Structures are given as C-alpha cells and as structure tokens.
Structure 1
Amino acid sequence: MQVSKRFLALLDQQLAQFTDRPDLLALVVYLALPGENGKPSLVPIGQWPRQPALPAPPTPGASGGSTVSPDAGVELGEARRWLALRDDRLLLGALRVDADRWPWPRDLGDRLDATARCLTEALRLDLEQQRLGRELDRRDEQLRLLVHQLRNPLAALRTFGQLLLRRLEGDPGNRTLVDQLLGEQRQLNRYVDAIDLLAAPAVEPAPAPGALIAAAPEGTRLLLPAGLAGEAPASLQAILTPLLERASATASLQGRPWHGPAALPSWRGDGGAVGEIVANLLENAFRYSPAGSAVGLHCSASGSRAPEGAQAPLSLTVWDGGPAIPVLEREAIFQRGVRGSTGQGLSGSGLGLALARDLARGLGGELSLVVPPAAVDPALPSEGNAFQLSLPGP
C-alpha cells in the first residue's frame, strides 16, 4: 500500500510551514502497514527538514502512544513525541516530533495537532481513493468479460435468424418479423460495442468527447458513446422505420392505439442521436402512459423557414393520451435522476429525458414538453402530453 504523489505534495507543504520554529529539530511522518504478527509496521514517507535519507522506523513500542522514546535523542536533551494519525480505531500512520524542549509551547502544540488532523484526513481520503480505484479496475475487468461473453449469444441469434429467413422464403409476412428481430439484434450489437469502448482503458486522462458518463458532475453533458454516434448522415426514413415498427408491435401487444406518421419528410442527419432521442421518447410514452391510452409520432417539416436549396427544419413529436404531467414537474423531469409522479413505482433510471435533451441541443435543436398535444397540431388529441424534438436543417 503506497500513498499518492498528491498526498506527498500535501505532506511536504504541511511540514514546510514549521520553518519558523527553531525549537523544532525534526518532523517525520510514517505510514502504518499491517505486519506479519498483526501489529502495524511504521514506514517513513516524509520528513522535515529534508535529508538525503529518511530515518529508520521507530521501535515497536514507540508507535502506539505519545510518550518520550527512550533513545539517544532524549539523552541529548531532545523531547520526542508521537502523534497518532487515526481513523477511528484504525491506525493510519504517525507524526514524529523532535523538539528541544518538553512540554511544547501552547501555540506550537496547537499547530502540530492541526497538522496531524489534516494529515489524518488526507491520508484517509488517499487510501480510500486507492481502494475505490482497485474496485473500479476489478469491475471494469468483469464488465469487459461480460461484454465478451454477451457477443456469443448475440451471434447465435443472428445465425438462427438468418436460418429462419431461409425457411420463410414463401412467407413474406413472417419474414418481415424476422427482419425486425435481426434489426434489433444489430442494434444490441451497437450497444455492446459502445459498452466495450467505455470499458476499455482510457488512452488519455480526459474522457473522449461524447462519452456517456451517468455519474457525471452537474453541468457536464450526457452524450452518446462514440460507438453509437452516427458516422454519416442518414435519411429520416432509415432512422425511424425500425422504431416505428417496434412501436407498432409494442402497441399491439399492449392493446392500445398506435398512430404513426402518414408520411416522413425528406430530412437527413445524425441517425445515431436522432434515433436514440425518439427511442427514449417512445419508450417513456409506452411505459408511463396509462394502459389503453393512445401513443403516436407526429412529423412535420417547415419548408417556409428554410432558405432556398436548404433542408427544412424538422419537428418530431411523440405524444400520448394519458393525464397531463403536473405543471411543477414539466421542467424538472428533464433533469438527471428526476422522475415524474406518474413514474413512481415503475422501473427506470430517470436518465432518458436528460439524455434526449442533451442530444437534441448537441444537434443544435431542442426538446420540450408541450401540453396538450393539440398545441403542436390541432389534429392531435386535446388531452395528454407531447414531447417535441425540433431540429434545424444542416
């Protein structure tokens, strides 16, 4: 068990503040390591004033208390004391103080006590950070193993699906279902690839732009992993077709009305980001709206707002016919980890809308809640909720 460079820098700073004390002969800080006999062994890790070599560890009896150590230093008139660096009952280390007198002046004793407390807390945090780092490394290794093993059943699903397609040559209706299953399998592969990138050791200290970090501090962006970002612009039809087929199947299984768009506008853009936004909105609509209520996707492109020869801005709206989200929750639900009252008791992380809005703004657009859906288009229901994704032309 070793301490970090940051702790050693703090240690040097703390000890150097005593340069104004001529009555101090030496300060030495020791790290407590578990010994073979169950008793801690003290290893020197820093001292003041600096010398070519650190002093040897103290005698076993000297590490546990604050009595004067019976060695040659005392015979020369020095007063040596030990200040234990303890986290509750756990001995983390010790601060050895060699002075020319005992007892110390009151102001010196107060400063030494404050230094010991500072070093104790810093050492505790440093050792805890190292423990968490080792635990994170262990979990990353397990994650990489699970991702590796997950590829095997996904490959088997693809193989069986392709074999099933061959057997359904004369059954176009069922072939469509198998095509959809294979499409979902490809999407799962994309997620596995993205997880694999996140689990890989970082080449640089800072995360790559676009990394999805669920536990990111407030103010940082939640974006898609690089493995899910669109490599090239995709048509709106290519982006939405698999999602519309999935939504139609979900509505059929749940026994609720589904209203897809009559036609898709001509629009091209980041397929990975737009697909993830719409997928999150559809999932929320089916999960949180009451059973039997309608769900739909409305599309529109405003050609009048686009310059000549440019792509028109796009509006995609996922709506449901359930009860309106309470006014006080309508902006809060876009925050990470916040879920509306209608979602209490249901599964979910509270990240979907935060991720969707982040992605929308990253594309230069916006995601907003409109109540009721008829405010988006009079043809939509006069009751319910509508999440409107507005995207500019490229």
Structure 2
Amino acid sequence: MSIRPPGPLQLTERFLTFAEQQLEQLNRNHGYQHLALYISQTGDKDHPPLFLIRQVSAADRSLPPADADPELRRPAQERRWYPLRDGDLILGALRADLGPAEAWHPQRDQQLRDGAAALSHGLATDLECLQLRSALDQQQTQLRTMVHQLRNPLSALRTYAQLLLRRLESSSEHRPLVEGMLAEQNQLNRYVNALDSIGQPALSGRQPEPAPLLLPPDTSAVDTSLKQQLMPLIERAMAMATLQGRPWHGPEIWPAWASESAEIAATAEIVANLLENAFRYSPPGTAIGLTPLPDGLCVWDGGPAIDVHEREAIFQEGVRGLRGRERPGTGLGLALARQLAERDGGRLELCVEPSRLAAELPDQGNAFQLRWPEPTARA
C-alpha cells in the first residue's frame, strides 16, 4: 500500500503516545536542548511543510512550526536532523538540538538514528492502518448504498410476479414458473439482508462467532421436508439445463429420508453451491444430475475427471481447478459447502467414478457426495 503523508490531525493517540515515549527515552540523561518530532503534511511535493507534533525541551518553550522558525534558517553546529522515511517517501523528521557544553559523538548519533528508525516504522504502520480504515469505511458506505438500491427493483419484481400469478388459472402450466420466480426473489432478499448486516455490531455488544454460512438459517424451512427444500433447486437446475442445451438427471424416486427434515441443516445451501459449481465448470453439453443415496446424496457431472493433484485443493478457499481459471468465479463454493457439511457432522467428498456410488451414474465424471452424519454422531 502506498503511504500518504498525513495532515495534522491524521494520527492516532496510540502513535502520539509512542512518539512521546520515544522522545523521553532519547532525552534521558543526554541533556538535549530540544528534541522535536515533525510530520510532513500533504502540500508541495518538493517542499512539503513540516508540522510539529511532539517535543521535549530543556526550557519551557514551545517551538514554532518549522516554516515559521527563524532559527532554522541559520546553520547551527548543535542541531541535527534525522529523516523519517518509508522507502523513498519522507514522512517527517526528528530534530535534535544539543544543550550547552554538550558535544556530538558516534554513540549519541547512533541512538538518534535508531530512534528515528523506530518512529519511522511506527508512523508508517499508523498511516497504513488509518488508510485501511478509511478504505473500509468507504467500502461499507458503498455497500450500504448498493443494498439500499437493490431493495427497490427486488420489491418491484416481487410485485409484478404476484400480479402475474393472480392472472393465471390455478391449473395453468405457467404457475410453477412464476412461483419459482417468487421463491428466487425471497432467496435474493435473504442475501441482501445478509449483506446489510455485514460489519454491524451484535446487539449484545459481543462479536458473533465466525461462521462459514453466508446466509442466516432459513427458519421458514424448519418444518419442511428435505424434498420440499430441494425441489426449488432442482427446478432451477432443470431450467438452466434447458437453456444450456445439456441433459439433466433429477431424482425419479425419492428415498424415505426425503420426507423428513434434513440430516444436515444446511443441505439446501450445500446443494445450491454444488449445482452452481457443476453448471459453471463442466464442459458445455455435459450431463448434470442430482442423485439421492442411502446415506446422503450426490451432485454429479459427466465431464472429464478433475486432475488428481487438484482433488483436495479445490475444497480450499479461493482455489479453482485448472480448467476453471479462465471462467468467472470466486473459488468459494466448494470450500463453503464442505465447511457447512462438516459443521453439522457430515462429510463432502469427491468421487471421480460416479458409477461406484450408483449404478445408473456414468463411469467417469465428477460426483460430489454429501454424507449424513454417522449414527453415533447423531445420537
């Protein structure tokens, strides 16, 4: 990060306290007439003004600003300057004026150089923290603005979809499409609400524990079966496959567990990430499917198997396989899915021979298998 010279008020109390301690330590038992710390202010690039922020003086006299100090216009044997640098940038200077009957010697000079180096490091760190804080504040402001702006078109879309639903007969084949639009709009609202809560302090005053789940738990899905939770995702996948002209294979027969609540609370969120990953990274025309298994389910594709050296790495945050690096994406989907599975006691693993999981699946491809917790873990 490029450090900018500060204005007179762009310093923290933490650094100012540190500067006072450094000056007092340098002055201890050395009899300086003045020890003063100046900070460069933004201004003329060749001759930036120096602002006096802290001093230690033998006499009870406050030094004037550097530009207004007539003494500094005359050379003086008893005065030396030590620059505060961050690379090629001058952040300020440490001024040392000897007292009467004092003389310069190598040890004194080295102590002042070391003190200037410590002040340079502290000042650069302080300025970097201030710039990062300012950038974060700007980003949060922009985020709040974007969230506010998003709510209006989302609300309008919901209104239009509800009006369209009223005009359709109960037997219309188009009703599931409009109902799907409303369900997706509700999901988008959950994302918008989650974005709006980023950076907000907890009501209790305590920071919440970090959690891998981007969205808050969907309390409306507590009393619904797993099949009911997964059907909107399956319908979305069917529509996406139709648009992309690729085969889709959804469940024809649901096992008994499908009529119960999910063994893993975030199953729908995990499946959503797995399906998005399959559609984004499998080659065009490749078949994609969701298949229930006795101890869980899998999302699979019939494309080339993921390279052996990438089969674990792709579950790390920000990592994408070689074939997916030229495509848009964050590399977070699989990492988030595995974190959610393991949080609830389950497992998420990659199988590059899908037919090993179920006979009707292809012999070669990529199947991401979500397993329910072991019986002992659920007890």
Residues 320-359 of structure 1 mapped to structure 2, 5 A cutoff:
320-359=301-340
Does the residue aligned with 2:326 lie in a helix, a strand or coil? coil
List per-residue Cα deviations over 1:146-199 (Å, max 9, x = no partner). 111111111111111011111111552101111111111111111111111115
- Indicate the residue corresponding to 1:60 in structure 2: 67
1:382 to 363, 370, 375: 363
Given that 1:31 and 1:92 are in contact with CA atoms closer than 8 Å, whether structure 2 keeps it comes out as yes
Given that 2:50 and 2:66 are in contact with CA atoms closer than 8 Å, whether structure 1 keeps it comes out as no
Cα distance 1:267–1:54, how it changes in 2: closer, same or farther (>3 A)? farther
Does the residue aligned with 1:228 lie in a helix, a strand or coil? coil
Question: Equivalents in 1 of 2:23, 2:341: separation in Å?
Answer: 52
Given that 1:26 and 1:49 are in contact with CA atoms closer than 8 Å, whether structure 2 keeps it comes out as yes
- Indicate the residue corresponding to 2:193 in structure 1: 193
- Indicate the residue corresponding to 1:312 in structure 2: none
- Indicate the residue corresponding to 1:305 in structure 2: none
- Indicate the residue corresponding to 1:224 in structure 2: 213
List per-residue Cα deviations over 1:215-258 (Å, max 9, x = no partner). xxxxxxxx124x53233635312321111111111112222221
Give 1:349 deviation, angstroms: 1.1
Residues 2-81 of structure 1 mapped to structure 2, 5 A cutoff:
2-18=10-26, 21-34=29-42, 40-48=48-56, 55-60=62-67, 79-81=78-80
Give 1:274 deviation, angstroms: 2.2
Give 1:93 deviation, angstroms: 2.0
Question: Equivalents in 2 of 1:98, 1:350: separation in Å?
Answer: 58
Cα distance 1:371–1:88, how it changes in 2: closer, same or farther (>3 A)? closer
- Indicate the residue corresponding to 2:236 in structure 1: 246
Question: Equivalents in 2 of 1:97, 1:158: separation in Å?
Answer: 70
Q: Once the two structures are aligned, what percentage of the paired residues are identical?
A: 47
1:296 to 289, 299, 323: 289
- Indicate the residue corresponding to 1:274 in structure 2: 267
Question: Equivalents in 2 of 1:148, 1:224: separation in Å?
Answer: 23
List per-residue Cα deviations over 1:351-384 (Å, max 9, x = no partner). 1111111222222222211121123233322110
Give 1:20 deviation, angstroms: 5.5
Give 1:141 deviation, angstroms: 1.3
**TM-score, length basis structure 2:** 0.83
Given that 1:43 and 1:57 are in contact with CA atoms closer than 8 Å, whether structure 2 keeps it comes out as no
Give 1:300 deviation, angstroms: 2.8
Residues 312-323 of structure 1 mapped to structure 2, 5 A cutoff:
315-323=296-304
Give 1:271 deviation, angstroms: 7.9
Question: Equivalents in 1 of 2:134, 2:204: separation in Å?
Answer: 19
Question: Equivalents in 2 of 1:257, 1:115: separation in Å?
Answer: 70
Give 1:39 deviation, angstroms: 5.9
Q: Residue type matched to 2:92 in 1? A: G
Given that 1:62 and 1:82 are in contact with CA atoms closer than 8 Å, whether structure 2 keeps it comes out as no
Q: Residue type matched to 2:246 in 1? A: R
Does 1:131 pair with 2:131?
yes
Given that 1:235 and 1:271 are in contact with CA atoms closer than 8 Å, whether structure 2 keeps it comes out as no
Does the residue aligned with 2:198 lie in a helix, a strand or coil? helix
Give 1:5 deviation, angstroms: 2.8
Where does structure 1 lack aligned partners over 5 or more consecutive residues?
Answer: 212-222, 303-314
Given that 1:369 and 1:388 are in contact with CA atoms closer than 8 Å, whether structure 2 keeps it comes out as yes
Residues 69-148 of structure 1 mapped to structure 2, 5 A cutoff:
79-87=78-86, 90-100=89-99, 104-148=104-148
Question: Equivalents in 2 of 1:152, 1:161: separation in Å?
Answer: 14
- Indicate the residue corresponding to 2:4 in structure 1: none
Q: Residue type matched to 1:278 in 2? A: V
Cα distance 1:324–1:117, how it changes in 2: closer, same or farther (>3 A)? same
C-alpha RMSD of the superposition:
3.3
Give 1:294 deviation, angstroms: 1.5
Give 1:279 deviation, angstroms: 0.6
Given that 2:299 and 2:368 are in contact with CA atoms closer than 8 Å, whether structure 1 keeps it comes out as yes
Give 1:288 deviation, angstroms: 1.2
Give 1:291 deviation, angstroms: 1.9
Given that 1:323 and 1:383 are in contact with CA atoms closer than 8 Å, whether structure 2 keeps it comes out as yes
Given that 1:85 and 1:120 are in contact with CA atoms closer than 8 Å, whether structure 2 keeps it comes out as yes
Residues 159-174 of structure 1 mapped to structure 2, 5 A cutoff:
159-169=159-169, 171-174=171-174
Question: Equivalents in 2 of 1:93, 1:105: separation in Å?
Answer: 24
- Indicate the residue corresponding to 1:217 in structure 2: none
Give 1:80 deviation, angstroms: 2.7
Cα distance 1:62–1:357, how it changes in 2: closer, same or farther (>3 A)? farther
Does 1:368 pair with 2:349?
yes
Does the residue aligned with 1:198 lie in a helix, a strand or coil? coil
List per-residue Cα deviations over 1:237-289 (Å, max 9, x = no partner). 23211111111111122222212122152442488732221111001111111
Question: Equivalents in 1 of 2:348, 2:21: separation in Å?
Answer: 50
- Indicate the residue corresponding to 1:263 in structure 2: 254
Question: Equivalents in 2 of 1:269, 1:118: separation in Å?
Answer: 58
**TM-score, length basis structure 1:** 0.80
Given that 2:81 and 2:94 are in contact with CA atoms closer than 8 Å, whether structure 1 keeps it comes out as yes
Does the residue aligned with 1:364 lie in a helix, a strand or coil? coil
Question: Equivalents in 2 of 1:272, 1:172: separation in Å?
Answer: 34
Question: Equivalents in 2 of 1:12, 1:366: separation in Å?
Answer: 56
260-269 vs 169-178, greater mean Cα deviation: 260-269
- Indicate the residue corresponding to 2:278 in structure 1: 285
